[in-house]
């Protein structure tokens, strides 16, 4: 049984996610999902002006005249959310990154449902802990929010590569996939590149600092910092301006390196902070996707 507090949190996230999705739909952001999946429809005779790159050479050889492949937009897409539930997502300032990840998931799930698409969920830490097959419906969105918020994960580490490998096995058809994580994981580049070739992949980094609470601990003096995933304990002087400056620089460099690393693998990337409005970065991302579509049309 869920406690009244948990039910209230799920209701609140469901409501915020539904309203945010409605606003994003009104701004025509949802079209960023559609048209990105194309399926083969038929072949027809080539006419002057057609893109020669679409010529079906096998049919052309058999018919002894040029034929071209015709594709159409998939009418129904699958949106898959891969959400990191490892220990490091439990930290944050005003609220945990896991709570913020649940809100991001709620907005994206409602966008899918309002576009008549299906949405599924995978929760992972050092292994895949839960797979919820893609479905439609308001009740399904409720379940996704509930599972992200309340799943009793005991994972210490994060294995993004393992989650991506499982996704490739479980979703044979092309889908729109979002990986929501702090990306404190190693050796997942090859898996990421492989899934990015198979699916439309976007990575959403839940922003974190090298040691939560240190860069804003002005005047806090010597404090003890514990790494939630490794258990390592470190004492630092949080009032040291040199340390704060170094940590801020490390955070900026890590963000830039992660952006370059993920895009090199073929995935889109943007960052969300648990302490800020999560809708703004989602809107900016979808706006950029729409602009990109208009440039290539």
Instruction: Tally the domains of the chain.
Output: 2
Tell me: do 228 and 264 sit in the same domain. Answer: yes
The rounded distance, in Å, linking the Cα atoms of 88 and 72 is 42
Tell me: do 54 and 141 sit in the same domain. Answer: no
Tell me: do 18 and 68 sit in the same domain. Answer: no
- Is the pLDDT score of 235 beyond 90? no
The C-alpha torsion from 79 through 256 and 282 to 293, rounded to 10°, is: -70
Strand 38-45 to 67-73 pairing: antiparallel
Tell me: do 20 and 160 sit in the same domain. Answer: yes
pLDDT digits (tens, 9 = 90+) for 78-108: 999 999 999 888 877 778 889 999 999 999 9
Strand 118-124 to 128-135 pairing: antiparallel
Cα–chain-centroid distance for residue 86? 16
pLDDT digits (tens, 9 = 90+) for 263-282: 888 999 999 988 888 889 99
What is the domain extent for residue 180? Answer: 4-31+76-296
Query: Tell me, what's the pLDDT at 23?
Result: 83
pLDDT digits (tens, 9 = 90+) for 103-112: 999 999 999 8
Is the distance from CB of 200 to CB of 178 less than 8 angstroms? no
Better pLDDT: 247 or 16 = 16
User: What element of type H or E holds 143?
Assistant: helix 138-150
Strand 176-181 to 233-237 pairing: unpaired
- Is the pLDDT score of 242 beyond 90? no
Tell me: do 241 and 185 sit in the same domain. Answer: yes
Query: For 229-242, what is the mean pLDDT?
Result: 64
Lowest pLDDT segment from 9-18, 29-38, 42-51, 164-173: 29-38
């Amino acid at each position: 049984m869920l406690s009244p507090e948990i039910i209230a949190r799920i209701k609140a996230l469901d409501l915020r996610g539904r309203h945010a999705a409605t606003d994003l739909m009104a701004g025509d952001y949802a079209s960023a999902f559609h048209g990105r999946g194309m399926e083969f429809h038929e072949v027809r005779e080539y006419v002057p002006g057609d893109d020669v790159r679409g010529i079906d050479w096998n049919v052309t050889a058999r018919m002894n005249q040029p034929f071209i492949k015709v594709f159409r937009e998939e009418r129904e897409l699958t949106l898959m959310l891969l959400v990191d539930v490892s220990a490091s997502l439990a930290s944050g300032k005003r609220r945990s990154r896991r709570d913020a990840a649940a809100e991001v998931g709620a907005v994206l799930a409602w966008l899918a449902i309002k576009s008549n698409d299906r949405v599924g969920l995978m929760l992972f830490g050092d292994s895949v802990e839960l797979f919820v097959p893609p479905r439609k419906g308001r009740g399904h969105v409720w379940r996704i929010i509930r599972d992200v918020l309340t799943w009793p994960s005991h994972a210490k580490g994060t294995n993004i590569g393992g989650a991506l490998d499982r996704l490739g096995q479980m979703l044979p058809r092309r889908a729109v996939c979002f990986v929501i994580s702090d990306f404190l994981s190693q050796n997942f580049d090859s898996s990421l590149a492989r899934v990015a070739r198979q699916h439309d992949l976007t990575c959403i980094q839940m922003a974190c600092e090298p040691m939560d609470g240190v860069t804003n601990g002005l005047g806090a003096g010597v404090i003890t910092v514990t790494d939630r995933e490794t258990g390592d304990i470190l004492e630092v002087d949080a009032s040291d301006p040199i340390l704060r400056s170094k940590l801020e620089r490390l955070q900026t460099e890590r963000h830039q390196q992660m952006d370059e690393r993920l895009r090199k693998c073929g995935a889109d990337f943007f960052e969300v902070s648990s302490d800020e409005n999560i809708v703004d970065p989602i809107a900016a991302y979808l706006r950029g996707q729409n602009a990109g579509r208009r440039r290539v049309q």
